[in-house]
Structure 1
Amino acid sequence: MAPPAQSQRSPSPSQPSGKGEVSDLKMQLRQLAGSRAPGTDDSKRDLFKKVISYMTIGIDVSSVFSEMVMCSATSDIVLKKMCYLYVGNYAKYNPDLALLTINFLQRDCKDEDPMIRGLALRSLCSLRVPNLVEYLVGPLGAGLKDGNSYVRMVAAVGVLKLYHISASTCVDADFPALLKHLMLNDPDSQVVANCLSALQEIWGLEASSSEEAVRGREALISKQIIYYLLNRIKEFSEWAQCTVLELVSKYAPPDSNEIFDIMNLLEDRLQHANGAVVLATIKLFLQLTMSMTDVHQQVYERIKAPLLTLVSSGSPEQSYAVLSHLHLLVIRAPMLFASDYKHFYCQYNEPFYVKKLKLEMLTAVANESNTYEIVTELCEYAANVDIPIARESIRAVGKIALQQYDVNAIVDRLLQFLEMEKDYVTAETLVLVKDLLRKYPQWSHDCIAVIGNISSNNVQEPKAKAALIWMLGEYAQDMQDAPYALEGLIEDWEDENSPEVRLHLLTAVMKCFFRRPPETQKALGAALAAGLADMHQDVHDRALFYYRLLQHSVSVANSVVNPTKQAVSVFADIQSSEIKDRIFDEFNSLSVLYQKPSYMFTDKEHQGPFAFSEELGNLSIGSEPADDILPAQRVEANDEDLLLTTTEKEESRAHGNNDSAYNAPAYDSSLSQLAVSQTEGELVSLDQTVPADAPQASSAIDDLFGLGLSIAPSPAPSTPLKLNSKAVLDPSTFQQKWRQLPVSISQVLILLYLSCILYALTLLQ
C-alpha cells in the first residue's frame, strides 16, 4: 500500500506519467548498486534526487525500495540522508520492506563518522514498525553511551520514539533510568535538555496508578535536580530554558528562603531577548509568590519593564502575544500599570489586531487620574481612516464611561460623535448611548435632546437601528416625534431584513402606546398585524404574545412592557472572575491568547460537530446553516401538490382584511374590552361580562387597533393525513424544498469523512 499523497498536484509533462519511468529508475539504480567506478556517487545523487522528487509529489516509488537500500552502501553523507528520508517515508506503510533496512541501518549505527551514526539511529527509530522494536534496544543503548554528543542527543529522543511505539519495551530496558543518569552527568547542555524533555513526556504519559511513574515524576521535581538545572540554565538553548522553567514551576519550595534563592538565580532571565523565556520566568515568579501578598505586588512592579520592552521591540506577532499576557496582568492589578498608559497608544504602522488589543489595554488601565488623556487619545482614533479602528475606539470610550470614570465629559464626547456625519460613527455611538442610558438613566435628558434629531432613515446598521428604536420607545414621553418615527418604521416593515430590528420595533410601539395612546393606536395595530404575519418565528411569537397579553389584561400588559426602571449594574457580556482566574492559572499558554480556558477549545463537548450540508460531499463544521439555505419558516404555500390537506386546514389559513396570514385563536368569552380616554390620555380597562354566546369575543381589541381579526371556531377533530399518489415534482423544485426543511439531527461523522478522503486519495493515485 502506498503512503497518502503529500500533494494533489497533477504531474507535469516532465514527471513520470506511468510505470515506465519508475521502471527505468529501478534499472539504473540496480546497475549502479555494485559499481565502484569514479563518478558513481554523482550519478546516484541524480537518481536519488529524482526518486525523492517523485515521492514528494505523491507518486508511488516503493518498487525501487530494495535498489535504494543496495545503493546506500556508500560513505557519501548526502546519499545517506536521501536514502534515510526515503526509507522513513515508506517503511511505516510497508513493514515487510522495512525489514530489509535493518541490517544496513544497524551497520551504519556503528560507522566511524558520528554524523552517520546519529542519522542512522534517528532513521532506525523513525521506522515506527512495532514488529521491529527488538532491533532498537541495542543501538539505543549504545547511542546513549556514545562518545559523541550528537549521537547521545539523537539517542535521547529515540528513547521517546521507542516509548510511543512500545512503552513496555522502553520501560523493561530501563531506558528512563539511563536518561536520568545521562541528564545529571552529561556535559553537553542539549543532551541534558533532550533527556529532560523525554523524561517529562514518558513519566507524564505513564498511567497515574503506576508506582514507577509516580516515583519518577517525584524524583524529577526533587530539589537536587531542580537546582542542578537552574545552575546550568544559562548553557541551555532558548527552547531548553523554557522546558526547565516549566519543570521548576511544578516544584513547591518548602520555605520563603528557597523561593528567594530561585528568584535570584533567574533574575537575569527577565532581561532575555527571547519573549518565551521572559514569559516563562514571569509565570514562575507569579506562582512562587502567590501566597506572599507583598512580594507578589513587587513582582508585578519588577516584570512591568521587561514586558513593556518586549512589546515595543519585536515583531507584531510577538507584540500581540506579550500584550495579551500584559492585558491579563492589567486586569488583575490595573493600578500598577495606570501610569504607563502611554505605552499603549497605537502606532500608525501597527496591524489591526495589535491596535485592537491596545485599545482594550487603554480601557483596562483607565482611572480617575488618566481618563481625560485616554479619552482624548481615543477620540482622535474615532476620526481615523481605518474604519474598524474608529469603531473600536468609540466602543472603548463607551466602556470607560460604563466604569464610572468622568461620565459627564465622556457623554459630551459621545454626543459630539453624532455631529461627525459618518454612518459608522453614528451607528456605534447610538449603541453606546443606549448602554449608557441603561446604566445612567439620569443622563436621559441630555442624550435624548440630541438623539431626537437623528432620522431613522439615516441609520442602516441593525444594531444601531435597534438601539434608536429602543430609545424611541423607552423615552417616548420626552421625544415629541417618537410615535410618528415609529409609525414610519412600521410602514417600512416589509423592507426591514433584520429580525432584531423588528423585535425591538414591536416592543417600542407597545411602550409608546401605554405612554401616548391616542398617537400610537394606529401604529400598534399595524405593528401587531405585521408581526403576526411575519415569517420569522420569534417576531411572530412576540406579536402573538403582545396580542394575547392585551386581551388578557391591560394593567398586566403595562407592567410587563413598562416595568419599574432599574439601572443596570453589570452587563452580561463581562467576563466572570472565575474564568479570568482559570486563564491566569494557564499563564504563558494559548489560553491567554484565546482569552478562554483551555478546556473551552480542547474538550470535545465545546467543539462544533462535523455536519454534512444538504449538498452531497460538502462538509461543514458547526451547526450554522449555509448562507444559501432558506429558513425553515419560508416554505411556500404550494405544498398542496405533495399533500392533500383537509378543508379545515385551508380555512384556518384564510387571510383577514389586513392581509395577515394569521387568524387569532378562540378565547374565553369573558375578556377585557378596551377604551381610550381622550381627555386624560390613559388606557382604561372596562371589565364587562360578555354573554357566552356572543359571536365576537375579541372585537373590542380588534376594532381598537384596526386589526379586523375574526375569531375562528373551535377546531374540529383533524382527519388523517392523505398522500397524493399522483404527485409530480421536478428535481430543482425538490432540491429547493429539501433545503427549506429544518435540520432534524446533527451527528459526528468523522469516520465517514475520513473514509471519503481515503477513497478520494486512492482515486487520485
Structure 2
Amino acid sequence: MSEYLSKAAAFAQNAAKLSKKVSEGIVENAREFGLEATSSGHYFDTSEEKMRDIKRQLDSRHDREKMDGLKRLIAMISKGRDVSEFFPDVVKNVASQNLEIRKLVYIYLLRYAEQEPDLALLSINTFQRDLTDQNQLIRAMALRVMSGIRVPVISPIVLLAIKKCMTDLSPYVRKTAAHAIPKCYSLDPSQKDALVDIITTLLNDNSPFTIGSVITAFNEVCPDRLDLIHPHYRKFCRMLIDADEWGQIVIMGLLLRYARTQFLNPNPDNLRVAEKEKSKTVNSDEDSDESDNSLDKSYALDPDHEQLLRDSLPLLQSRNSAVVLSVAKIFYHLAPTADAYKLSKPLIRLLHSHREIQYVVLANIATMATQRPYLFEPHLQQFFVRSTDPAFIRNLKMEIMTLVATESNITGILRELQEYVKSPNKDFATSAIRAIGRCAIGMPEMAESCLNGLMKLLWSKNDAVVAESVVVIKRLLQLRPQDNADMIIQLAKALDHITVPMARASIFWLVGQYAQNLEKVAPDILRKAAKTFTTEADVVKLQIINLGGKLLSLHSTDHTLNLLFQYILNLARYDLNYDIRDRARLLRGLVLISEKKETNIDNMGVEGMLSKELNESSILTNNLKQILLCEKEAPSEESPSVGRDRFTIGSMSLVLNYSVPGYKSLPDWPTEKPDGSVRENLDDTWNRNQYIKGFGSDSFGRYIPPSTYDNKPVTKQYNDSYDSEHFYDSYESSDDNRNHDEKTALRYDSIEDEFSNEDEETSEEYDDEDEEEEASGSSEEESSEAETSEEE
C-alpha cells in the first residue's frame, strides 16, 4: 500500500512540475507577442492610470511596448473615443524602423491629421524622406499617408510627391501615385491642370498592374478628355486580358464611352427589322449560311471597333461576375445584332451564384429582354422558379419569362405559371396570376386560353388568388368588349363567395360597363347589391352606386329600377365616407335631374332660371350615356422593367431604376465617322511581351486573333480548350444554336505554330552560333597547342 502511495505522490509532483513549465511557457510566449497576463481588458480601460500607462509606452525605447500602446489607441479609436491628446506622442514614432509601428502610426495620423494640422505637418519631412527609401512598400505607404492627410496647405507637397512617384520603377508605387491623384484633386481643385499632365504621363504606362488605377484617376479628374485616350486606345484593348479584374472593369467602362463617340452605330435603323429575323435564324438550319452572310455584308465595322469586341470576348469566361457584366455591356451597346447573342450564355452562368448577384444579373437580363427578347429565348428553362428562390428573384424570373414569350413557348410558360399559382405563398401566387395576364395582353391570340385558366381560379379557397384573378380577368375582358357576356355572368355567380373588396368592386364595374349585353342579369345584380350595401367596403359601395346610375341611364322609364336606385342613394346619403356621399349627390343630379327640375318649377316659379335649367337638363339627359358609359381605353400592363432601358447595362441606376448621383448616360452615336488617324502612332509597335509575365499571362492575351468581319477564310482555329463558345456547352442549348455559334462567332487564330516556328528558327540560329563558337574555340585551342609545342 505504501508503494502505491509513494508512486502517486511522485506522479503528482511530476504533474505539478509539468503544469508549471507549461504555464511559464504560455506566459513567456504571451510576453513575446506583447500580451500581458494581467491586462486582459486593458485595451478598453480608459482610467487615468491606464492613460498615463499608454503615454509611458509610447515614450518607451522598446518597440514591443510602443506597439502595445499604439494597439490600445487604435482600439479606443474603433470604439469612438477621442484620443487626439496623444497626437504629439504618436508623431514622435513616425520615423520608427519597425514597419508594424509605422502602419499603426499612419492609421492614427489619418484619423486626427485634420484636427491637428500643425502637428501633422511635423511628419511631412519624414514622409518625404521615405519617398526615397529602398523598400517599395515604404515609398508607397508614405505617399498614401501624405495624400490622406486632409490639410489643404500640403497640397503642393503632395503634388510634388505624386510627380516623383509617377516615374518610380516599381509598378506598385506608380499605382499608389495614381490613387493619390483623386485625393489631391478633391483637396485642391486648382491643381487640376498639373494633375491632368500627370495622368497624361501615367497613361503611357505599360504595366497592367497600374493602368486600372490610372484610368480611375482619369475618370475622377478629367472624364471628358477623351482626346487623351486616342494614342492609347489599342494598347488598352490589348491590355484588357492581362489587367487585374477591377482594372478590367474600369478599362471597359472607359472604352465603352470612347467607342460611342468615335465609331458609327453598327446597327442602323434599317437593320432593326433584322433583329427578329436573326432570332429565327438562330434556331433554323435552312440557309443559315446565306442569312448570316447577307447580314454580315450589310455593315462594316471599324478595325478598332472590331478589336475592342475581339479583345473583350475572352473575358466572358472570367470568374468575376462584374467583369462578365462589363463585357455584356460592351456587346449589348456596341456589338452588331449578329454577335449580341454571345452574352446570353455567360450571363446565364452567373445565375448559379449568390442570390445578390442573381438579382443584379436578372435585372440586367430583364432590361435587355425588353428590347431584344430573342437573346434569352433559348434559355427559357433557366428562368423557371426554384423553391429556394427568394421573392425578389422569383418576380424577376417570372417577368423575364413573360418578356421572352413567343408562339412556340407560350404553352410551356403558361403551364409553368399555373403551377406557381398553387403555391401556398399568397404573394407568389398573385404574382404568377399577374404574369399570366401580361402574357395574355402581350399575345392576344392566347387571351382565350388565359381567360379559361383564370376563370377556374375563381373557385379557389385562397381569397388572394380569387381576388387577383378577378382583377386580371377584368383587364383582359376590356380587350374583347363584344364577346364577354358569358364570362361576366360567371363572375357574377361567384359574388356570393368572393369576399375581397377589390374583386367585388371589379365585378360590379364589369356589370355596369357592359350592362347593354346583360339586360336580364344586371338589374338582379343591383338588387342583390342593395341588400348588402351597408356592409360593403367603400370601394365596393362606389361601384354599386355607379352600377345603379349606368342601369338607370339605359332604362330611364323603368319605375322599379328607379325606386331601387333611389333607395341606394338614400343609403349613401348618410354614409360615413364623404366620397360616397359626394358620388351619390353627383349621380342624383345627373340621373334624377328631370325629377329635380320639376320640384324646382313648383317651388321657385322663376321663368328666367327655369328656362336656363331646362336647357341644362336637356343637354345632360341627351349626353348621359356618353358620360357614364363611355368606352374605356384597353389596359396595356407594362413590364416592371420598363424604363430601365434608359440606363446603361451594369450600372447601379439600372438596378434601382432611377438615376443615382454621379450617373452619366452613354453618349449618342456620331452621325459622321470621326477621323481614325488619331489612333495611329508609335503605340502600334508596342510589344506585348513587355508584360507577358503579368496578370493573366496564361490567358488569351498571348495571341492576337485576326479579323472576322471581312468574311476572309479562316484556316486556323484555336483549340477547343480556349474556345469561349465551347466553354458554355454544359448549359442547355439546342444543336441549332451551336451550329449558329460556330458559323457566326468571333473566331480566333492561334499563332502558337508561328511562335513555335520562331522558336525553332531562333534555336537553329543559336545552334549555328554555338557550332561556330565551338569551331572557333577548337581552332584556337589547336593553334595554342601548336605554339606551345614549337616553344618546347
Shorter-chain TM-score category? 0.5 to 0.7
* 1:481-501 deviation digits (Å, cap 9, x = unpaired): 655554555565565554x33
Is contact 2:383-2:397 (8 Å) kept? Answer: yes
Distance 2:534 2:90 in 1: 73
In the other structure, the counterpart of 1:263 is: 309
Deviation at 1:417, TM superposition (A): 1.0
In the other structure, the counterpart of 1:225 is: 232
Q: Does 1:286 align with 2:309?
A: no
In the other structure, the counterpart of 1:611 is: none
* 1:386-443 deviation digits (Å, cap 9, x = unpaired): 2211111111111111220322222111111112222111111110111111111244
In the other structure, the counterpart of 1:571 is: 636
Moved over 6 A (4+): 12-17, 574-577, 599-603
* 1:71-91 deviation digits (Å, cap 9, x = unpaired): 344222222222211111111
Larger radius of gyration: 2
Q: TM-score, normalised by structure 1?
A: 0.67
Deviation at 1:299, TM superposition (A): 2.2
In the other structure, the counterpart of 1:521 is: 562
Distance 2:323 2:393 in 1: 21
In the other structure, the counterpart of 1:548 is: 589
Q: Does 1:31 align with 2:60?
A: no
Is contact 2:44-2:75 (8 Å) kept? Answer: no
Deviation at 1:63, TM superposition (A): 1.0
1:418 maps to a residue whose letter is L
Distance 2:44 2:424 in 1: 54
* Structure 2: runs of 5 or more not aligned: 1-39, 265-299, 594-616, 666-792
Label 1:82 to 1:533 Cα distance change in 2 as closer, same or farther (>3 A).
farther
- Greater relative contact order, per chain length (Cα 8 Å cut-off, separation 6+): 2
Q: Of 467, 476, 491, which aligns to 1:427? A: 467
Distance 1:334 1:80 in 2: 57
Which SS does the other structure have where 1:59 is aligned?
coil
In the other structure, the counterpart of 2:244 is: 237
Deviation at 1:61, TM superposition (A): 1.1
Q: Does 1:253 align with 2:263?
A: yes
1:482-501 equivalences in 2 (<5 Å): 482-483=522-523, 485-486=525-526, 489=529, 495-496=535-536, 498=538, 500-501=539-540
1:555 maps to a residue whose letter is T
Which SS does the other structure have where 1:135 is aligned?
helix
1:196-595 equivalences in 2 (<5 Å): 196-204=215-223, 216-220=225-229, 222=230, 224-251=231-258, 252-253=262-263, 256-258=301-303, 259-289=305-335, 296-311=336-351, 313-403=352-442, 404-455=444-495, 458-460=498-500, 462-476=501-515, 478=518, 482-483=522-523, 485-486=525-526, 489=529, 495-496=535-536, 498=538, 500-515=539-554, 517-534=558-575, 536=577, 538-550=579-591, 551=593, 552=617, 555-556=621-622, 558-565=624-631, 568-571=633-636, 579=643, 581-583=645-647, 586-595=648-657
Distance 2:662 2:235 in 1: 37
Label 1:239 to 1:405 Cα distance change in 2 as closer, same or farther (>3 A).
farther
Percent sequence identity over aligned pairs: 25
Distance 1:580 1:51 in 2: 48
Is contact 2:70-2:105 (8 Å) kept? Answer: yes
Label 1:87 to 1:261 Cα distance change in 2 as closer, same or farther (>3 A).
closer
In the other structure, the counterpart of 1:81 is: 103
Is contact 1:159-1:170 (8 Å) kept? Answer: no
In the other structure, the counterpart of 1:5 is: none
1:455 maps to a residue whose letter is L
1:92-111 equivalences in 2 (<5 Å): 92-111=114-133
Q: Of 151, 159, 175, which aligns to 1:129? A: 151
Residues paired across the two proteins, number: 558
Which SS does the other structure have where 2:649 is aligned?
coil
Q: Of 163, 170, 175, which aligns to 2:195? A: 175
**Structure number having the greater helix percentage:** 2
Distance 1:393 1:534 in 2: 37
Deviation at 1:475, TM superposition (A): 4.3
Is contact 2:192-2:221 (8 Å) kept? Answer: no
Deviation at 1:518, TM superposition (A): 4.4
Distance 1:521 1:548 in 2: 14
Label 1:30 to 1:590 Cα distance change in 2 as closer, same or farther (>3 A).
closer
Label 1:534 to 1:354 Cα distance change in 2 as closer, same or farther (>3 A).
same
Is contact 1:433-1:447 (8 Å) kept? Answer: no
* 1:78-108 deviation digits (Å, cap 9, x = unpaired): 2222221111111123333433433443344
Deviation at 1:332, TM superposition (A): 1.4
1:217 maps to a residue whose letter is L
Label 1:45 to 1:382 Cα distance change in 2 as closer, same or farther (>3 A).
same
In the other structure, the counterpart of 2:703 is: none
Deviation at 1:555, TM superposition (A): 2.5
1:708-723 equivalences in 2 (<5 Å): none
Distance 1:537 1:47 in 2: 72
Is contact 1:183-1:191 (8 Å) kept? Answer: no
Distance 1:526 1:75 in 2: 96
Q: Of 63, 66, 74, which aligns to 1:44? A: 66
In the other structure, the counterpart of 1:115 is: 137
After TM superposition, the structure 1 stretch with the greater mean CA deviation from structure 2, 404-413 or 533-542, is 533-542
Deviation at 1:231, TM superposition (A): 0.7
In the other structure, the counterpart of 1:184 is: 204
In the other structure, the counterpart of 2:212 is: 193
Distance 1:479 1:429 in 2: 25
Distance 1:488 1:94 in 2: 82
Is contact 2:240-2:311 (8 Å) kept? Answer: no
In the other structure, the counterpart of 1:685 is: none
After TM superposition, the structure 1 stretch with the greater mean CA deviation from structure 2, 471-480 or 323-332, is 471-480
Is contact 1:109-1:120 (8 Å) kept? Answer: yes
* Structure 1: runs of 5 or more not aligned: 1-11, 205-213, 290-295, 604-765
